[in-house]
Amino acid sequence: MRVLGNSWTLRATILKKCYVRQRVSFSSQAGVECIAPLFQTVAETPQPVPTKITGTIPKWIRGSLLRNGPGRFEFGNDKYNHWFDGMALMHSFKIENGSVTYLSKFLQSDSYAKNKDANRIVVSEFGTLAMPDPCKSVYDRFVSKFKLTSTDNCSVNYVLYKGDYYVSTETNFMIKVDPETLNTLEKVDWSKFIAVNGATAHPHYDPDGTTYNMGNSYGKDGTRYNIIRVPSQTSSSGETLDGAQVVCSIEPEKKMKPAYYHSFGMSENYIVFVEQPLRLNIMKLLFSQVQGKSFSGSMSWEPELNTVFHVINKHSGMKHPVTFHTKAFATFHQINAFEDQGCIVLDLCCQDDGEAVGMFELQNLRKSGQALNEIYKQVSKAYPRRFVLPLDIKAKEDAVTQPLNYTTATAAKKADGKVWCSHENLHDHTLDLCGLEFPQINYAKYNTKKYRFLYGCGFQHLVGDSLLKVDVETKKAKVWKEEGLYPSEPIFVPYPDSVEEDDGVILSVVLTPHQDKNTFLLILDAKDFTEVARAEVLVQMPYGFHGMFVPQRT
């Protein structure tokens, strides 16, 4: 919703009217409140608006919290089917001199423009298949069914390449944006620089600015998982992906049914790719238009395939000769990975099944009462788990168990030469009911290093309804939670010249479906997890995905 003027009373009146127009019953027969307002279309706020501060915002925090996620869920009479499908709405909370302003803008992608011009959905998304134009001839509509095109609706995350900021999704497109104004700048096609058909929205960064990512390629020899390296700078024209190269290509266990992946692990010297049993059926994907199915319809959970860890030296591109296996689990977000005593310690958020993606259809998220509770009970929760991958196992070595004395994670050599791993849970009973997702650490100082503190959202509901700080050594957790409030991914911002790992603050945007409560930027002390301040803004926002903090340039 766009808010004009500086009057707090005026904005309150406008917001109240907005909620009246979109009134939803919050009653729940099973005690699970309706969260439908968190998944409704909103208008952008293209000019900065002030916020109401409670508490005191430290003046050393100077910069912008950028957030990304869906913000428009229909065009004309056409409605999207899945939460992931909504058009990208970029948000910025600018913090300066103890005050905060907010603005938001829709990403001016080609997908957004085409849908808007046609006043209907003309570009397919993750869970929504665009129908052929009824005004076209029968022949043109038939031909259009065989065109497999990618969306540039980059609604998942912000990423950094060579000092420039981009919004990204998981297709072959990402779009450069101005982090100050949120203006859309230029679209970049990965396939014009390197032989891949997409890249994840969760790259990793070396201290020198070198960026690593992963993306699939599809060709006559089948699918390949590719590890990509983008240098921090090049001596050529300086275009975004100049100098990008494939470090290593990995052949899937099943060429026509590669694993879906949302992120990957990186230690100081290695990339760890998790090949999980959540699979993409390439034949279904190729004929999805003809069969009337979306991209999500080509995905299936096949736990009989188990889960495989592939380890690749990120400098040489050499794949480790040993394959590491474990029981089937699904993962979307890596927490951290580091090397210790000849092993890679890999921490992930893991679910025991891969059916959760299908549960996030908009028709489910907008249910209420017992119907919503039934959906909630079907969603598998994610928990932080630790795996240990011993790199120095010799081909004929006997079984190895518990390679590191500070973790109960094991790795056992089997007669077939494979190493089977069991995990250690990195949590106590505090997380039993909610699990943990959207994990974050003090990335600047502890990425690829042994660390102690993990931050995330607890998901006792279908979306995050608490903020968590977990000590991975003691497994004890600190919790921030208020009824009727739904916090987003926590972002760690370190104190200037910080010494200890948790010296800093946590930033999270907290939403609510209640008209008598306001959206606000929450600032927590990262050490004791107590509230420092909040900045309320009378603007309705949908629940989103990921973001980053951009320090103010000096």
Confidence category of residue 28, pLDDT binned at 50, 70, 90? very low
Contact 53, 61 (CB under 8 A): no
% of the chain exceeding 70 in pLDDT: 88
Nearest to 92 by CA among 78, 105, 106, 102: 102
Contact 417, 395 (CB under 8 A): yes
Judge if pTM exceeds 0.95: no
Confidence category of residue 32, pLDDT binned at 50, 70, 90? confident
Report in angstroms the alpha-carbon separations of 441 from 92, 494, 550: 21, 11, 16
**Which amino acid, 41?**
T
pLDDT (average), residues 473-499: 97
Q: Residue 147 pLDDT > 80, yes or no?
A: no
User: Which residues does residue 413 pair with via DSSP β-bridges, in sequence order?
Assistant: 419
Confidence category of residue 142, pLDDT binned at 50, 70, 90? very low
> Could you tell me which residue, 368 or 119, shows the higher pLDDT?
119
Structure tokens at 234: 């090049």
DSSP assignment string, 449-512? S---EEEEEE-SSSS--EEEEEETTT--EEEE--TT-EE---EEEEPTT--STT-EEEEEEEE-
% of the chain exceeding 90 in pLDDT: 75
**According to the model, what pLDDT value does residue 226 have?**
97
Chain segment 294-344, per-residue pLDDT in tens: 888 889 999 999 999 999 999 999 999 988 999 999 999 999 999 999 999
**According to the model, what pLDDT value does residue 23 have?**
34
DSSP assignment string, 222-259? EEEEEEEEE-S--SSS--TTTT-EEEEEE--SSTTSPB
Q: Residue 184 pLDDT > 80, yes or no?
A: yes
pLDDT (average), residues 364-376: 90
Confidence category of residue 466, pLDDT binned at 50, 70, 90? very high
**According to the model, what pLDDT value does residue 262 have?**
97
Chain segment 94-118, per-residue pLDDT in tens: 999 999 999 999 999 999 999 999 9
Residue that is written with structure tokens 């065989």 in the block: 146
**According to the model, what pLDDT value does residue 394 have?**
65
Report in angstroms the alpha-carbon separations of 292 from 85, 124, 147, 170: 17, 11, 13, 21
3-state SS assignment for residue 27: coil
Q: Residue 15 pLDDT > 50, yes or no?
A: no
Confidence category of residue 254, pLDDT binned at 50, 70, 90? confident
**According to the model, what pLDDT value does residue 289 have?**
60
Q: Residue 27 pLDDT > 60, yes or no?
A: no
Chain segment 48-91, per-residue pLDDT in tens: 999 999 999 999 999 999 999 999 999 999 999 999 999 999 99
Q: Residue 182 pLDDT > 90, yes or no?
A: yes
Q: Which of 14-23, 75-84, 134-143, 218-227 has the highest mean pLDDT?
A: 75-84
Confidence category of residue 10, pLDDT binned at 50, 70, 90? very low
pLDDT (average), residues 496-505: 96
**According to the model, what pLDDT value does residue 88 have?**
98
Which of 133-142, 166-175, 176-185 bottoms out in mean pLDDT, i.e. has the lowest? 133-142
Q: How far apart are CA 429 and CA 410, in angstroms?
A: 22
Chain segment 398-451, per-residue pLDDT in tens: 567 888 999 999 999 888 778 999 999 999 999 999 999 999 999 999 999 999
**According to the model, what pLDDT value does residue 293 have?**
72
Which of 23-37, 76-90, 178-192, 515-529 bottoms out in mean pLDDT, i.e. has the lowest? 23-37
Q: How far apart are CA 499 and CA 508, in angstroms?
A: 23
